A and B are shown apart, each in its own frame.
Chain A
């Protein structure tokens, strides 16, 4: 087997807040192959986003290291692209100028940047909206632009932090299908953080389930559903089985975190309610 594209070696993250130590991540190790799509799920506050920020190099881990192609990550780099959760498009830039931002800070020629941006605008289906400002776009279009902006620098690894969380159910499904299409054509390595378990299973080759505080890896599940997948996959028995298994694991975690007794089981038996 070849060396992994992305290696997380026993990563821990400890914060001290008002004199108290707070362990956000404990001893996380994971190898990710080139072109692999990994989803990260876990209860709120389990450190999924923190882990993604560590991989991007936005924060340094307290212990452990992240290796990209064997090289240690110390800061953000052009081999990784981050798609933010919230609306992180620059409101003072048009769609096109948002998309070329990555190339602009790298000091590439404007002409080259525009050619690249133009191709991306079409890839994510934003043709005709290049000169609109983010506030003039719908939530779905903004996330398309957000994705295009991360893709401009042509990163090998895409780090996506709940990019579709703010979208309505329909738009989210469309965006999931679009993401798979783009991933198929580009074969990026993807780490995708989400709250939505069905989204995690639908997209990923492997789903990483994290424990609640401190965030540790609880289980890694192989999603053995053949690709290309379309939305009908979501109704197959195997899909539902996987979703159910993950629900149960997360429910355990949430209950452990809240110290809920068995008497309360009725109330919490639908995990969706705990989110």
Chain B
């Protein structure tokens, strides 16, 4: 049986120069980098005209501000504060969210009791509760952790439960036909089958959790990237504000790419479908 067809571009590889080859194999990355460079250039020029001083600082000024804040150690302090709030809040959301999702998926009673709350609270813009959290948990880290938790937990709960319940029946039957018991069906079928959904939930949770950090710090904080952004914009320090925004964007990109790497290792069979 002819089973796996691998296109062999032998000729092409032989005749092509090292440079063309580099451009061909990295075409996708190169186009992405080019796109970023063009926008940065336009930004720089627009910023230099000085027509929108309250919106655009030239990229080069933002860079200089970044170096200055980094050198003084102030930036590191803000980053560490925000990172701590985010990591603790998100870790709690991940653990609690996955467990609650599993509970909802495993018991109809639990589902009936919990589901209305999940739907109601998920549909509410929970950031509205952030001021309340400051009253309850104080102006420092715990209140931000609570906001991060509240924002990140719902997509994780919902995705975990959906992943568990959408397991194809045929896999459960197959496991049963091998006399697998309930626990084995749970660990060897339901969990691995739900894993891609859980990871997708975590990825959504990261985005929402970062929003939580910023909003929490806008409302009341003494340090952190959100605080830096808020304080700078209030004081018309547009370059410092952008430093904060860029760092947040970078954190988001980094966290999502780490998660993608984890997903690729934990669920290699999904790559095929996800494309």
Binds B, one of A85-93, A180-188, A208-216, A239-247: A85-93
Interface residues of B in 1-50 (CB under 8 A from A): 1, 3-4
A88 touches B170 (CB 8 A): yes
B184 touches A105 (CB 8 A): yes
Per-residue CB contact flags for chain A residues 127-165 toward chain B (1 = under 8 Å, else 0) read 001000111111011000000000001000000000000
B174 touches A84 (CB 8 A): yes
Nearest residue (CB) in A for B268 is: A133
B179 touches A76 (CB 8 A): yes
Docked complex Cα distance between A141 and B173 (Å): 21
Q: Which of A56, A171, A174 contacts B177 (CB 8 A)?
A: A56
Q: Which of B178, B184, B193, B273 contacts A76 (CB 8 A)?
A: B178
Chain B residues near A133: list those with CB within 8 A.
268-269, 272
A58 touches B188 (CB 8 A): no
Chain B residues near A45: list those with CB within 8 A.
none
B170 touches A141 (CB 8 A): no
Docked complex Cα distance between A174 and B188 (Å): 32
A82 within 8 Å of B (CB atoms): yes
B267 within 8 Å of A (CB atoms): yes
Chain B residues near A248: list those with CB within 8 A.
none
Docked complex Cα distance between A84 and B174 (Å): 8
Chain B residues near A92: list those with CB within 8 A.
192-193, 195, 267, 269
Per-residue CB contact flags for chain B residues 178-197 toward chain A (1 = under 8 Å, else 0) read 11110010001100110100
Q: Which of A58, A81, A101 contacts B173 (CB 8 A)?
A: A58
Chain B residues near A77: list those with CB within 8 A.
179
A75 within 8 Å of B (CB atoms): yes
B1 touches A141 (CB 8 A): yes
Q: Which of B1, B178, B273 contacts A101 (CB 8 A)?
A: B178
Docked complex Cα distance between A2 and B174 (Å): 32
B77 within 8 Å of A (CB atoms): no
A105 touches B188 (CB 8 A): yes
B171 within 8 Å of A (CB atoms): yes
A91 in contact with B188 given A56-B177, A84-B170, A86-B170 (CB within 8 Å): no
B219 within 8 Å of A (CB atoms): no
B175 within 8 Å of A (CB atoms): yes
Nearest residue (CB) in B for A137 is: B3
A4 within 8 Å of B (CB atoms): no
Chain A residues near B184: list those with CB within 8 A.
105
Give the distance to chain B from A117, nearest Cβ to Cβ, in Å: 14
B176 within 8 Å of A (CB atoms): yes
A261 within 8 Å of B (CB atoms): no
B177 touches A82 (CB 8 A): yes
B173 touches A84 (CB 8 A): yes
A106 within 8 Å of B (CB atoms): yes
A78 within 8 Å of B (CB atoms): yes
Chain A residues near B171: list those with CB within 8 A.
88, 90
A102 within 8 Å of B (CB atoms): yes
Give the distance to chain A from B135, nearest Cβ to Cβ, in Å: 46
Give the distance to chain A from B168, nearest Cβ to Cβ, in Å: 9
Give the distance to chain B from A159, nearest Cβ to Cβ, in Å: 8
Chain A residues near B4: list those with CB within 8 A.
136-138
B177 touches A58 (CB 8 A): yes
Chain B residues near A86: list those with CB within 8 A.
170
Chain B residues near A141: list those with CB within 8 A.
1, 3
Per-residue CB contact flags for chain A residues 66-106 toward chain B (1 = under 8 Å, else 0) read 00000000011110111010111011110000000110111
Give the distance to chain B from A17, nearest Cβ to Cβ, in Å: 17
Nearest residue (CB) in A for B195 is: A92
Per-residue CB contact flags for chain A residues 16-60 toward chain B (1 = under 8 Å, else 0) read 000000000000000000000000000000000000000010100
Chain A residues near B179: list those with CB within 8 A.
75-78, 105-106
Chain A residues near B173: list those with CB within 8 A.
58, 84, 88
B170 touches A90 (CB 8 A): no
Docked complex Cα distance between A81 and B176 (Å): 11
Interface residues of B in 112-155 (CB under 8 A from A): none
Chain A residues near B176: list those with CB within 8 A.
58, 76
Docked complex Cα distance between A134 and B175 (Å): 16
A101 in contact with B269 given A90-B171, A171-B1 (CB within 8 Å): no
A91 touches B269 (CB 8 A): yes
Chain B residues near A135: list those with CB within 8 A.
269, 272-273
Give the distance to chain B from A209, nearest Cβ to Cβ, in Å: 26
Per-residue CB contact flags for chain A residues 102-119 toward chain B (1 = under 8 Å, else 0) read 101110000000000000
Docked complex Cα distance between A76 and B180 (Å): 9
What are 23 A-B pairs at a CB distance below 8 A?
Answer: A76-B178, A82-B174, A82-B177, A84-B173, A87-B170, A88-B170, A88-B171, A90-B171, A90-B192, A92-B269, A93-B192, A101-B175, A101-B178, A102-B178, A105-B175, A105-B188, A106-B178, A129-B3, A133-B269, A134-B269, A135-B272, A138-B1, A141-B1
